[in-house]
Amino acid sequence: MNTPHHNNFSSLLIALFCLFILIFFTKDLALGLYENYQEKQELQVQVDQSRQEWEDFSALEKQLEAGESDSELKKYARDFSQADFLEFLYSYIENSPSVGTSTLIKSVTFSEPEQNEIGFMQVNVDVSVRMPSLAVM
């Protein structure tokens, strides 16, 4: 004869077994949904960044077409002498606390100025520097 206590226990076991089966077969689905959600969020951030870059470039293009961006181009097209570059290089090494005095500039060579494919004058600079460690470099 079945007692009510025995029926409750059987029902509880069946319910737990069904819950285990449900979790066992749906855990991969739930994890896949979460991974897809994370990937969607990352892609949305990339889309937003790309859209902002596109808007910035479009605004710059409109300024260029209207002739309003002389100051924007001048900051990229200013004259830069060898002396300016050497002064920057030596002052960077002297003022950088992580580099210290064990850094040695072995050589600095400049190529002849030449016009690049977009019409700017270009100079290649080769710098050979001895650093105290790879981490400092």
Residue 113 has pLDDT above 80, yes or no: yes
The number of folded domains in the chain is 2
Q: Which residue has the higher pLDDT, 50 or 132?
A: 50
Statement to judge: residues 60 and 88 lie in one domain: no
pLDDT tens for each residue of 63-103: 777 766 566 566 665 677 788 878 887 887 777 766 555 77
Statement to judge: residues 66 and 40 lie in one domain: yes
Spatial neighbors of 116 by CB under 8 A, at least 6 apart, are 122
Domain that holds residue 23: 1-78
pTM: 0.38
Statement to judge: residues 2 and 61 lie in one domain: yes
Cα distance between residue 104 and residue 91, in whole Å: 13
Statement to judge: residues 7 and 22 lie in one domain: yes
pLDDT of residue 40: 95
Statement to judge: residues 71 and 121 lie in one domain: no
Cα distance between residue 72 and residue 68, in whole Å: 9
DSSP-derived pairing of the beta strands 125-130 and 104-110: antiparallel
In a domain, 57, yes or no: yes
In a domain, 10, yes or no: yes
Cα distance between residue 118 and residue 14, in whole Å: 75
- Exposure class string for 14-43: b at 16+ Cβ within 10 A, else e: eeeeeeeeeeeeeeeeeeeeeeeeeeeeee
In a domain, 11, yes or no: yes
Above pLDDT 90, what percent of the chain? 17
Statement to judge: residues 54 and 8 lie in one domain: yes
In a domain, 135, yes or no: no
Residue 35 has pLDDT above 90, yes or no: yes
Residue 28, CA atoms < 13 Å, CB-side half-sphere? 3
In a domain, 137, yes or no: no
Report angle CA 36, 53, 45 to the nearest 5 degrees.
20
